[in-house]
Structure 1
């Protein structure tokens, strides 16, 4: 099929690349000329493992094009995919300015019947607004489809090529066959519903996953007080098929562009119809509080923050991405600096983006994890990059001024800590220390 994808962020670029891999003719559109020129050279504006190789392959095999000429892309395509950003407004609502502008531009450029498919995350009822906007700018017939994405940064290509399911919202039954045909190369697990339900499915899914994360973090906080180990609790819970093991990893909370934005937007969607979403408000509150656990454990181990030297391992909100949007590191580093601490930071990918958003004379930018630890009173692990799992903990103890490791992602095992020579703080687990050679626990399957 002939597709135009409006927007070359995570959703638009990954979707365009993956549709092209399935032998569709795809034109990706972005108004930023510099970005388009880089894409034509197979240089990705986003960090996503494997994306540049797939762009280069699709360009070479002439299935993928990049342009800043939206009109030409629309005229040459049968299906127009809207994948522009819908960032949060100060009140938490989704900002629909960019998608409404894209809809107007698409309508003005249409030269015949088109299917307009929204992949951007939008509040319930937005596709009806898109229909109204397009209709004001064209005399041609068109249909609207909602096809929300469920990709995860860092594994976006795999998530797109091998999705758990695909949701398609339509109001014209005649579109069903075309939409299923477009997507069935990815999976047969396709659920076709009405447009408003498809819009809600995306928000409800992300809100539920965010709820699981906040729930296990609350359990972790109780575990610390009663002497239980949240990692063992999560394993036991996850063995129940009704619960499942995913998103039960305790830590310092979620971040990124989706969960924070979508939970706040759903709270606003509920508020707009006079419903108070009490549960989701608590999920957001728990997540905000959880990241400050790092600060409280620093105070517990060192007594004060003023004048201390702290190494930070990990700035991105999750591994395998350079995205720092809503990352716990932002608030943690800012708090440390405000309290008078000196901070040495390291991240395999996200340092430049972090520095663009937050820089300070008390921050030292380090090229290795070891450099970030050298001479510090403590190291705080904020992002569970595999890079940090490989660090020699005995070496870490030898370069620290005080042997304190605060693990915000529960990366290290009790056995590793017992042999480390470190004073170790984690999330929801009993206090562990390698200073006295503690023995590992006996938890495990029988």
Structure 2
């Protein structure tokens, strides 16, 4: 806990807002989270978290005396010292970030003259802070500080990332806001990087773009490995042992997805293009990533000599394990391409929301409650998400239930040796195809 309990308003009850609010409450502060969706607030007030994030539900329950949820702006800001803006900034048709929700918050707090600061955690284009500062000034809030405080949490480990950060980035020209925020984060015992607002905004976009570039690079190397007979798992391990490079984000697979990397990469590319600079490296990163799940379908098509009339099982739907998030998931591209090729598609995922079935391409996909049922009578399977349940699956039984025991391991999760013994043809990313003798 901090020495002094602060009063904080968090606008946005999504992944970032709820984690931010719950973690600040865990640090001993009084937090009110405000959202515009009545059903979401109803669920939270009923102690029901509207999405899955490990540890978040327990954190909210443990701090229920310090944590409140509301639809009402005035209830949220009444006693708050600072407002944290944690709303979505989805891409527009041009690839730019849609800041309408950010502006709605700024307009909503126009009478909150008692605030120390308005703090934006949402990912925004560089230059947004200057515009927000001007908007606050126009509303007579010249004395209210403004800060950019980007988040660096990954879905599936967001609570731990917040409470044990590598660094805290604070961008502000206001010394009072800087001191208030530095004190707020002091219990986390992490380096605090103080800088100007524009630099803080760029840190977030550049960090995600660099991580996306590492993923794309290793996927390109994997493709070369497939052509030359090299093994990407051995290559990436040896690369990662170089202290200059490290092992993180060097795992070949079906490409990145989720709410951050695709959106932020496109936003940075759009921002550069709007400034007259064609960000060619980022263009290539985005293009390669969009191709990666399509390559998996093409490889399967070649292996089966066509996909029309074939039954293909997808194992995993979410963009990564330990989350129920389907945003920009490679599974959607794979399912759509399989259907376009005339295949019948079945799927399994332990956490993908049931409402997914209401949206294309999932309206044409049959979802099953367990992997073995999804695999029954399948001509092939693609392992899309590296759920730990798949390492414990009875693969010999799976081989017997499938029409053709063919598996494309899109995450290089499984050891091919026992699969070969079970009768599988084992394809993967960046490794030779193994066929039973």
Q: TM-score, normalised by structure 1?
A: 0.94
Question: Offset of 1:362 from its aligned partner?
Answer: 4.5
DSSP-derived class of the 2:187 partner: coil
Pairing partner for 2:16 from 11, 16, 33:
11
Counterpart residue number, 1:63: 66
Give the distance between the partners of 2:196 and 2:401, measured in 1 at CA. 59
DSSP-derived class of the 1:196 partner: helix
Structure 1 position 89 matched with structure 2 position 99? no
Quick check: 2:80–2:115 contact (8 Å CA) kept in 1?
A: no
Question: Offset of 1:420 from its aligned partner?
Answer: 2.8
Cα deviation digits, residues 74-126 of structure 1 (max 9, x gap): 1210011000100000111100111011111112x314243111000000011
Cα deviation digits, residues 411-439 of structure 1 (max 9, x gap): 11233334332001100001213x22xxx
Give the distance between the partners of 2:136 and 2:71, measured in 1 at CA. 20
DSSP-derived class of the 1:310 partner: strand
Counterpart residue number, 1:22: 27
Quick check: 1:324–1:353 contact (8 Å CA) kept in 2?
A: no
Relative to structure 1, the CA distance from residue 271 to residue 353 in structure 2 (aligned partners, 3 Å threshold; closer, same or farther) is same
Quick check: 1:166–1:187 contact (8 Å CA) kept in 2?
A: no
Relative to structure 1, the CA distance from residue 193 to residue 39 in structure 2 (aligned partners, 3 Å threshold; closer, same or farther) is same
Question: Offset of 1:187 from its aligned partner?
Answer: 2.9
Pairing partner for 2:103 from 80, 100, 103:
100
Give the distance between the partners of 1:114 and 1:174, measured in 2 at CA. 8
Relative to structure 1, the CA distance from residue 283 to residue 139 in structure 2 (aligned partners, 3 Å threshold; closer, same or farther) is closer
What is the count of residue pairs matched by the alignment? 432
Counterpart residue number, 2:46: 41
Question: Offset of 1:52 from its aligned partner?
Answer: 1.4
Counterpart residue number, 1:346: 348
Quick check: 2:16–2:86 contact (8 Å CA) kept in 1?
A: yes
Cα deviation digits, residues 371-412 of structure 1 (max 9, x gap): 000011001111111111211221221111001001110011
Quick check: 2:335–2:361 contact (8 Å CA) kept in 1?
A: no
Give the distance between the partners of 1:113 and 1:3, measured in 2 at CA. 10
Give the distance between the partners of 1:30 and 1:67, measured in 2 at CA. 7
Quick check: 1:106–1:134 contact (8 Å CA) kept in 2?
A: no
Cα deviation digits, residues 132-183 of structure 1 (max 9, x gap): 2233334562010110001111111111111111111111234332211111
Relative to structure 1, the CA distance from residue 139 to residue 181 in structure 2 (aligned partners, 3 Å threshold; closer, same or farther) is closer
Cα deviation digits, residues 253-272 of structure 1 (max 9, x gap): 00111000000000011112
Structure 1 position 202 matched with structure 2 position 207? no
Give the distance between the partners of 2:20 and 2:115, measured in 1 at CA. 22
Give the distance between the partners of 1:3 and 1:113, measured in 2 at CA. 10
DSSP-derived class of the 1:344 partner: strand
Quick check: 1:346–1:369 contact (8 Å CA) kept in 2?
A: yes
Pairing partner for 1:304 from 303, 306, 317:
306
Quick check: 1:28–1:66 contact (8 Å CA) kept in 2?
A: yes
Counterpart residue number, 2:328: 326
Quick check: 1:213–1:247 contact (8 Å CA) kept in 2?
A: yes
Give the distance between the partners of 1:430 and 1:26, measured in 2 at CA. 53
DSSP-derived class of the 1:95 partner: coil
Cα deviation digits, residues 345-366 of structure 1 (max 9, x gap): 1110115143122256752110
Q: TM-score, normalised by structure 2?
A: 0.96
DSSP-derived class of the 1:284 partner: helix
DSSP-derived class of the 2:190 partner: coil
Question: Offset of 1:367 from its aligned partner?
Answer: 0.6
Counterpart residue number, 2:170: 168
Where does structure 2 lack aligned partners over 5 or more consecutive residues? 1-5
Give the distance between the partners of 2:168 and 2:422, measured in 1 at CA. 46
Where does structure 1 lack aligned partners over 5 or more consecutive residues? 437-446
DSSP-derived class of the 1:291 partner: helix
Give the distance between the partners of 2:156 and 2:182, measured in 1 at CA. 27
DSSP-derived class of the 1:204 partner: helix
DSSP-derived class of the 1:185 partner: helix
Quick check: 2:319–2:327 contact (8 Å CA) kept in 1?
A: yes
Give the distance between the partners of 2:294 and 2:262, measured in 1 at CA. 16
Give the distance between the partners of 1:192 and 1:69, measured in 2 at CA. 33
Give the distance between the partners of 2:41 and 2:354, measured in 1 at CA. 21
